[in-house]
Structure 1
């Protein structure tokens, strides 16, 4: 068991490492950042976390160019649009990704808090915790770092993210932090990347079906998530670690 003081020391060392990595690699292009992270800094100890959403193809394409065998963690919440699951399979085949892992919530957690499948309506924060946060912790077991596709233009908590950050005992890599929507669309065209089928219908950010709506671009790319609620993040990018003790 790690004592609190020792745990604080580990956090300090991790934050310092993230700071040094930012200084050394933060100004590199996205492919260079990924190449360094996957092949040098965290060789064999890094994974990508992808929702296979509206913009996911750009990051996954860059990863595939560096190493298509990089582990990809997909949180199979059981609440995705059917189109998202089909798109996942399409992208995996198109990019030649060979190590995609689908991680689901445990049967015990669902029986405890979401036996009827409507927890998203009663308590969306707890629903995200059981279906995303806790499965992610299991999915990242054994990895020292993970790559995600957050971008500063998405606003909110994402507005000032660095390329490298310390988060809950791991280094989080944000290689697309500085990208804007125009660059994303340009890469989709240049690389011939397939689009998520719901993007053409006006879905700007695509998560679980019950909590995703068509967005208003003027209100931000994530305006269609959890509409009408004071919620902008599912929790996987927020600490501290989720606790199972909160009642539904």
Structure 2
């Protein structure tokens, strides 16, 4: 496959290499395998295919996301993708009927995403996120490197990427798209809490639609404030 064509892509690769060097053996990439995830996964694979990749399988994901994950793992030859699931005891105690998402979406995200990620990151001092400033107002001021609510370093290599940069990288590297993107899902989470985005809406408008919720919680401190 061809090299990235833009200066921004080259600079991002350099940033990612520096992060992996600085936190050698103590850094992981956290990926939702969503519509834009292939960019960062491809970059990571080009540097170190053995980099741990953490994937949160909430039990509520679209089957298309699972299929896309499998396809990307095979294509990029990722060696250490860790599928992390919620603690069955937490589900039994707090979501026995599987409908907690409708009653308390924050608590649902806590037991299906935040708590499993906290456990999966045990032993790591830093992790890599695919967040971008263009995704939402709440993410508009993210920094290249931040300190998360748990004190770990969060590296955001794509912080300044725009949609055109994403599209250009997909084209240059001939990366496959998430199958739901063409069906009107520019941002994809759990099937229970994600709808199609209408024309003119921001990319994340389909997440937790009809509520004030805008983040799952893994980037928030326990008081609900952004990292």
The question of a shared fold, defined as TM-score above 0.5 by the shorter chain, is answered with yes
**SS of equivalent to 2:164:** helix
Task: Flag the 1:241–1:48 CA change in 2: closer, same or farther, 3 A.
Answer: farther
The answer to whether the 8 A contact 1:204-1:217 is kept is no
1:90 maps to which of 71, 89, 96: 71
1:225 maps to which of 192, 207, 220: 207
The correspondence of residues 58-69 of structure 1 with structure 2, limited to 5 A, is: 58-69=39-50
The correspondence of residues 108-147 of structure 1 with structure 2, limited to 5 A, is: 108-147=89-128
Query: Per-residue displacement from partner, 1:45-81 (whole Å, max 9, x unpaired)?
Result: 0000000001100110111111111000000100000
Following superposition, the deviation at residue 221 of structure 1 comes to: 1.1
How far apart, in 1, do the equivalents of 2:155 and 2:197 lie?
A: 27
How far apart, in 1, do the equivalents of 2:189 and 2:136 lie?
A: 17
1:29 aligns with 2:1: no
**SS of equivalent to 2:86:** coil
**SS of equivalent to 2:200:** helix
2:134 maps to which of 149, 153, 156: 153
How far apart, in 1, do the equivalents of 2:81 and 2:52 lie?
A: 6
Aligned to 1:198: 180
Aligned to 1:11: none
Query: Per-residue displacement from partner, 1:180-216 (whole Å, max 9, x unpaired)?
Result: 0011011111101011000010101000000011113
Q: Size of the alignment, in residue pairs?
A: 214
- Give 1 or 2: higher helix fraction: 1
The answer to whether the 8 A contact 1:87-1:197 is kept is yes
Task: Flag the 1:45–1:217 CA change in 2: closer, same or farther, 3 A.
Answer: farther
How far apart, in 2, do the equivalents of 1:29 and 1:217 lie?
A: 33
Ranges in structure 2 where 5+ consecutive residues have no aligned partner: 1-9
How far apart, in 1, do the equivalents of 2:129 and 2:91 lie?
A: 26
TM-score, normalised to structure 2, is 0.92
> Which consecutive segments of 4 or more residues in structure 1 shift more than 3 A?
none
Following superposition, the deviation at residue 159 of structure 1 comes to: 0.4
Aligned to 2:155: 173
Aligned to 1:24: none
Aligned to 2:51: 70
The correspondence of residues 38-77 of structure 1 with structure 2, limited to 5 A, is: 38=20, 40-77=21-58
Following superposition, the deviation at residue 241 of structure 1 comes to: 8.2
How far apart, in 2, do the equivalents of 1:88 and 1:66 lie?
A: 19
Aligned to 2:80: 99
